[in-house]
Structure 1
Amino acid sequence: MGHSIIAFIIVLGILVFFHELGHFLLARYYGVGVVTFSLGFGPKIYKKNVGLTEYCISLIPLGGYVKMVGEEPGEPIRFEDIDISFSQKPLFQKAMIVAAGPLFNFILAFLLFYFIALFSGLYVIKPVVGKVAEDTPAHVAGIQSGDTITGVHGEPVTSWEDMVNLIGNSNGDPLELLVAREGREFTVMVTPEEKIVKNLFGEDKKKYMIGIAAKGDILHIPLNPFQAVGEAVKRTWQISHLTILSVVKIVQGTVPADTLGGPIMIAQMAGEQAKAGVASLSFFIAMLSVNLGIINLFPIPVLDGGHLLFFAIEGITGITANESIREKANQIGIALLVALMVFVFYNDIIRIFNGG
C-alpha cells in the first residue's frame, strides 16, 4: 500500500507540475505577475519566495494552482500592478494562458511516448497464423497454421494489426493474400465474411474476417528519432480519441458509470505500473496526462474549459460576463466536481470491497 501511495504522489506531482507550468510560463511570457505556484492544495508544508512569486508544496496532493495578479474578476489591483495584471491583458493572451495548462499535458504525453518509442522501439505481433477455424474463408483457401501473411492485395504486411486492418477494410471484396510457408511464397484468394463482434465498449459491430488467429510471435522494431516522433504523435492521438470516445459512451450509457475510477484506483494502478518498470510507469503517466488535458478542456466553470468558454462568448459578443454570473457559474462547477469526486471515491471503495 505504501508503495502505491508513493507512486501515486509521484505520478500526480508530475501531471500537476506540467499542467501548472503551462499556465506559469505563458503568464510570464505575456508579462502577467504570478503570486503563487503551488503543487497541492491546503496548508503549505514548504515555500520559497523568488521575486514576486511564492513557490510552494501544499499538504493535499490532489491538484495544484497558479495564482496570478488580477486573476479574479473584481479583484482590486494596485496602480503599480496594472501592467502585470491578468485581467488587463488582451482576450487572446488570457485565453492562451488558460489553454496552456491542458496543452502542456499533451506535450508531456508526447514527450513520454517519444522517449518510450525511441529507447524501446515497437513490439508488434507477427502476421503468423496460429489457428485456422474450419469452414472459414482461410480454411477454404488452404491457409495453414504456421503460415506468414506477408501481403494483402498488393499491400505489404509487417504486423498482425496491419493484416487485420487491411482485411477489415475490404468491404467483403475478394482479396489476394501473399503467404510464406517453409521458405516459399505463393498467393491465395480469399473473400472475407461479415461477422458481428464486440468492440472495446461491448457494442456489436460488423467486421470482415477470414477465420484465423495469431500465433503470438513478437517482432521488435527499433525506431530512429524521426520515426519516434511519428509514433509519439500517433499514440497521443489514439489515446486522445479513445478518451473522448469513452466519455461519449459513458454519457450515452453504453459504458457503465461505475467503471469510472478515482484517486484510489489511480494509486493502485500507479503502484502496479511502477513495479512493472520505468517504461510501463511512463506510459501510464502519458495516458493520464492526456486524460487530464481533455478533462480540463470540458466547458465546466472552474475548469480551464469553462474559462475558455467565457472568453469565447466575450470574443463573439463583445460582452464580458459580470462578476455575479461568473461567481454563480463557479459555484455550479465546484458542486459538479465535488459530486463527481464523491462518486468516483464511492466506485473505488465498492471496487475494493468486491475484490477489484
Structure 2
Amino acid sequence: MLITIIAGAFVLGVVILVHEFGHFIVAKVSGVFVKTFSVGFGKKLLKKRFGDTQYALSALPFGGYVKFAGEVDESTDDAPAEEPPSGEVPDREISPEKYFRNKRVLIKSAVIVAGPLMNFVLAIFIYTGIYNFQGIRVIPTTTIGHVIPDSPADSCGLQVWDEILAIDGKQVANWGEVNDAILEDWDSAKRFEVLRGGEKIDIGFKGKVKDNRISLGFLPHIPAKIGQVKRDAPAYKAGMRTGAIIEAINDTSITSYYEIEDVIHPRPGIPLVIQWSFDGEAHVDTVVPEAKKILKEGSKTELRIVGQIGVGPYYERKQVGFLKAVQMGSTAAYRMTAEILSFLKLLFTGKAGLDSLGGPILITQMAGDMARWGFNYLLYFLAFFSINLCIFNLLPFLPFDGGHLVLFLYEGAAQRRVNRRVREILTQVGFALIILLMTFVVIMDISRCAGTSPGLF
C-alpha cells in the first residue's frame, strides 16, 4: 500500500508540476507578472519571494499551481486564494500592462499551450532517457515462437519454430532486422525464406491493417528465462528473480516464454506446480496465479481475465547513441499520442464505454503496479500519463486549457473579448460536466477495487 501511495503521488505530482512550470516559464518570458509559483496545494508551509514572484511549498504535494496578476476569469488555473495573500504583490501595485488579461491574444495563447506542451516534452525526455541509459531491446533470433490463429502469418502457413533466413532475398540476422524488412514498404507482398525441419521453404506473406495497426500475427521465440519479477507477486514470493528459468509447469515441459503464458493465463486462482532453476539450483514451488484483467488480443477496449504470476520475458539490450535515443524517444511519444487519440475516437463514437476510463484511484493503483515491476516501468507510466494530461488539457472545453485557447482565438478573430457572463456560464457548465465525469470514474474505481459493477446504467 505504501509503495502505491508514494508512486501515485510521484506520478501525479510530477506531471502537474511540469504542466504548471510550462505556464510559469512562458508567462515570465512574455512579461506576465507571476505572483505565485507553488509546489503543492493548500496551506503554504514555506514561502520566499524572489524578485516579483513568491515561491512556495504547500501542504499537499500533488503538483502545484501558478497565479498571475490580473487573472480574473481568464485564469489558467484555479489556484487556492489566500486571505490576505501574504507575501504576494497586490494587483494595485502592478502595472496593468503586466496583467495576464491585458496581454495580446498570441501571448495568452502561448502561456496556455505551454502547460500541455511541457507534458509532451516530459514524455519525450523520459523515453529518450530510458533509451539512452538502458539501450534498446535486442532479440538475437529469427526463429518464430508464436503464431496468432487466423492472422496473416497463420493464413500464409508460417509455423512455430520456423527460422526466417531472408525476406525478399535479403538475409536477416535478428528480430529487429525481420521487423525492419517487413515494415519497409509493408503493404506489399513479401517472400520469406524459412528453415523448417532442416528444409528451406519459400513462403509468400502480406500483413494487413487492423484498428489502424499493422497486423502480422507472429512473434519471435523468447526463451523461458525471466527478465522482470513484480515485487510481492506470486513468483516473487516463491523466490524467483531475474535470470530464473522456468522448466516445467504441472509436469508440462516449458521451452519458451509463450508456453508459460499459454499454461498460466487460463488458470487464475488455480495452484500450479512450477519447476524452475536459478544459478544452477533447482526449485519446485506451488504458485497460485492472480486474476488480472488485460486487453483481449487485437482489441483496444475489451478486457479478459487471465492468470498471472508476475514475471516478464528476458531481453538482451544494445546501447544506442544520444541522437538515436532522441529520435526513438520522439517516435515513442508520437506513437503513444496516436494510440490515445485513437482511443478517444472510439470513446466519442461509442465504440468504447465510459467504464474504460479511470480516475485518481485507478491512476494511483496503476502507478503502484508499475513501481512493483521496477522504476523504469514507473517512468514509462509517467510518460504515458503525461501525454494523457497533455491531450485532455487541450480538449476545447472550459476549464481545460483547450477551452481557454478557443476563447482567446475567438477574441483574436472577433477583436473583442467574450462577455464575462458567457464565460462564467461556460466555465460552470464545464465544471459540472467534469464533476459528473469524475464522480462516475471514482465510482468505477471503487467498484473495480471491490470487484463489483456499479450498476448505474
Smaller-chain TM-score bracket: 0.7 to 0.9
In structure 1, what is the Cα distance between the partners aligned to 2:449 and 2:168? 50
Q: Which runs of 5+ in 1 are unaligned?
A: none
Q: Take 1:83 and 1:135, find their aligned partners in 2: how far apart are those partners?
A: 66
Q: What is the match of residue 99 of structure 1? A: 113
- The amino acid that maps onto 1:294 is I
Distance across 1 between alignment mates of 2:104 and 2:389: 27
- In structure 2, which of residues 159, 168, 175 is the aligned counterpart of residue 159 of structure 1? 175
Could you say if the C-alpha distance between residues 137 and 345 of structure 1 is closer, same or farther in structure 2, counting changes exceeding 3 Å? Answer: closer
C-alpha separation in 1, matches of 2:442 and 2:344: 18
Q: Which moved more, 1:264-273 or 1:284-293?
A: 264-273
Which secondary structure does the structure 1 equivalent of 2:161 belong to?
coil
- Greater shift, 272-281 or 106-115, is seen at 272-281
Task: Tell me how far apart the structure 2 counterparts of residues 316 and 135 of structure 1 sit (CA, whole Å).
Answer: 54
Alpha-carbon displacement from aligned partner over 1:307-337 (angstroms, at most 9, x marks no partner): 1000111222222102111111111121122
Give the whole-Å Cα distance in 2 for the aligned partners of 1:65 and 1:140. 55
* Cα 1:144–1:22 shift into 2, 3 Å: closer
Matches within 5 A, 1:90-169: 90-125=104-139, 126-130=141-145, 145-153=160-168, 158-159=174-175, 162=179, 166=183, 169=186
Residue 391 (structure 2) pairs with residue 294 (structure 1): yes
Distance in 1 (alpha carbons) for counterparts of 2:5 and 2:320 = 34
Structure 2 CA distance for partners of 1:134 and 1:285, relative to 1, 3 Å: closer
- The offset of 1:156, in angstroms, is 6.6
Q: Which moved more, 1:96-105 or 1:119-128?
A: 119-128
Tell me the residue number matched to 2:52.
52
Distance 1:214 1:303 in 2: 44
Aligned position for 2:41 = 41
Correspondence 1:333-348 to 2 at 5 A: 333-348=430-445
What SS does structure 2 have at the residue aligned with 1:309?
helix
Q: Which range moves more in the overlay, 329-338 or 98-107?
A: 329-338
Considering fraction of residues, name the structure with more helix. Answer: 1
Once residues 148 and 32 of structure 2 are traced to their aligned partners in structure 1, the CA distance between those partners, rounded to angstroms, is: 66
Q: 1:221, CA displacement in angstroms?
A: 3.1
Matched, 1:354 2:443: no
State how far apart, in whole Å, the 1-side matches of 2:449 and 2:193 are.
50
Q: TM-score, normalised by structure 2?
A: 0.66
What is the SS of the residue equivalent to 1:274? Answer: helix
The 5-angstrom pairing of residues 1-356 of structure 1 reads: 1-61=1-61, 63-73=63-73, 77-78=91-92, 80-125=94-139, 126-130=141-145, 145-153=160-168, 158-159=174-175, 162=179, 166=183, 169-170=186-187, 173=189, 175-179=190-194, 188-192=202-206, 214-216=220-222, 218-354=315-451
- The residue matched to 2:317 in structure 1 has which SS? strand
Shift of 1:49: 2.7
Residue deviations 1:35-72 (CA, integer Å, cap 9, x gap): 12123433334433333322234344555321101122
Q: Is the 8 A contact 2:151 2:216 kept in 1?
A: no
The separation in 1 between residues aligned to 2:375 and 2:324, in whole angstroms, is 21
Match of 2:228 in 1: none
* TM-score between the two structures when normalised by the length of structure 1: 0.83
How far is 1:187 from its partner?
6.5
Cα distance change on mapping 1:121 and 1:137 into 2, 3 Å: closer
Deviation at 1:257, TM superposition (A): 1.2
Give, in angstroms, the shift of residue 298 of structure 1: 0.5
Rounded Cα–Cα distance in structure 2 between residues aligned with 1:17 and 1:191: 49
The CA distance in 2 between the partners of 1:19 and 1:239, in whole Å, is 18
1:28: how far off? 0.5
CA–CA separation in structure 1 for the residues paired with 2:179 and 2:395 = 34
RMSD after superposition: 3.6
1:99–1:308 CA contact under 8 A, matched in 2: yes
Q: Per-residue CA shift, 1:239-259, capped at 9, x if unaligned? A: 111111111111222222112
**Distance between the aligned counterparts of 2:116 and 2:151, measured in 1?**
48
Contact 1:38 1:57 in 2 (8 A): yes
Post-superposition CA distance 1:169-213 (Å, at most 9, x none): 446x4x31143679x99671325598x98x69xxxx99576xx55
| 2:117 maps to amino acid | L
Check 1:229–1:215 CA distance in 2 against 1; reply closer, same or farther (3 A cut): same
What's the offset of the Cα at 1:274? 1.8
SS at 1:78 equivalent: helix
Cα 1:325–1:40 change in 2 (3 A) is farther
Q: Residue 69 of structure 1 contacts residue 81 of structure 1 at CA under 8 Å; is this kept in 2?
A: no
**Equivalent AA in structure 2 for residue 216 of structure 1:** I
**Deviates most, 272-281 or 241-250:** 272-281
Relative distance call for 1:62 and 1:164 in structure 2 (3 A) is: farther
Cα distance in 2 between the residues matched to 1:308 and 1:136: 45
Supply the distance in 2 between the matched residues of 1:164 and 1:67 (Cα, whole angstroms).
Answer: 53
Aligned partners of 1:82 and 1:152: how far apart in 2? 68
Moved more, 117-126 or 272-281: 117-126
Distance (Å, rounded) in 2 between the aligned partners of 1:19 and 1:32: 17
**Displacement after TM superposition at 1:268 (Å):** 1.3
Q: Secondary structure at the match of 2:56?
A: strand
User: Which structure 1 residue ranges, 4+ long, deviate > 6 Å from structure 2?
Assistant: 132-142
CA distance in 2, matches of 1:134, 1:260: 30
SS at match of 1:228: helix
For the 8 Å contact 2:194–2:203, the answer to whether it is kept is no
Q: In the aligned structure 2, how far is the partner of 1:135 from the partner of 1:77?
A: 67
